[in-house]
């Protein structure tokens, strides 16, 4: 049986991308990760096999998945002040979120679509990662977006720095402000490039509220 995108994300070890995976107790972080702070259009929260329509102020728990409809967006403000913006026709799973000094780990799975992260610089994150089927983007304090595309992923940095690793084992590249990288499913060089205004502005527009 073929794996779904989400199952594929969970199945590939991060060690293949040069990262040590979280301990086996990764699911131990429970409770409220954040709340919906802004909405546009229709967004669903998937929890324990149940799907409900999201509303402003709704709690987002660890292991929840958010799924946006076409032309829809959602903003989640996490408990530490970090912000996740989900673009149209996108799906993001909150796999792990623990900003406390004893944990300081966060892991989000971008199953499809596009998402933007503004990570709170005041939180001493040991690791804050976003995974797609082809890439792992790891940061501490920065503003960046990740997009899951057919056969590849794209990462762009609006502010700060992001280490992007290939899950096919092609190594790691560090992106600086204004740079992006495309990460294919197969092995190949990762090349950081300055994104042109058109690509940059079109991508940011999809994860920005008017």
Q: How far apart are CA 33 and CA 165, in angstroms?
A: 25
**What 8-state DSSP symbol labels residue 191?**
-
**What CATH number is associated with residue 141?**
2.60.120.1440
pLDDT score at 29: 47
Residue 7, pLDDT score: 53
| Cα distance between residue 53 and residue 207, in whole Å | 20
What residues in the chain have per-residue pLDDT under 50?
Answer: 1-3, 8, 11-29
- Both tokens of 65, joined, read 């998945």
Domain hosting 184: range is 5-20+27-206
The domain total for the chain is 1
List of long-range contacts for 200-203, beta carbons under 8 Å, 24+ apart:
200/156, 203/114, 203/145, 203/147, 203/154, 203/156
Q: For residues 128 and 151, give the distance between their C-alpha atoms in angstroms, rounded to a whole number.
A: 24
Which pLDDT value is given to residue 30? 60
Q: What is this structure's pTM?
A: 0.85
């Amino acid at each position: 049986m073929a794996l779904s995108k989400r199952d594929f994300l969970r199945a590939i070890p991060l060690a293949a991308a040069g990262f040590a995976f979280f301990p086996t107790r990764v699911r131990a972080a429970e409770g409220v990760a954040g709340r919906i702070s802004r909405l546009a259009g229709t967004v669903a929260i998937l929890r324990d096999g149940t799907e409900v329509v999201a509303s402003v102020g709704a709690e987002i728990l660890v292991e929840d998945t958010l799924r946006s409809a076409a032309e829809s967006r959602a903003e989640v403000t996490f408990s530490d002040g970090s912000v996740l913006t989900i673009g149209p026709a996108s799906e993001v799973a909150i796999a792990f979120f623990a900003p406390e000094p004893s944990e300081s780990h966060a892991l989000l799975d971008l199953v499809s679509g596009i998402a933007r992260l503004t990570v709170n610089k005041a939180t001493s994150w040991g690791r804050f990662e976003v995974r797609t089927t082809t890439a792992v983007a790891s940061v501490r304090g920065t503003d960046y977006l990740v997009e899951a595309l057919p056969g590849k992923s794209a990462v762009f940095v609006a502010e700060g720095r992001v280490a992007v690793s290939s899950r096919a084992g092609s190594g790691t590249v560090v992106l600086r402000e204004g740079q992006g990288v495309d990460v294919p499913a197969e092995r190949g060089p990762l090349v950081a490039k300055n994104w042109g205004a058109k690509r940059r502005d079109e991508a940011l527009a999809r994860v920005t509220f008017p």
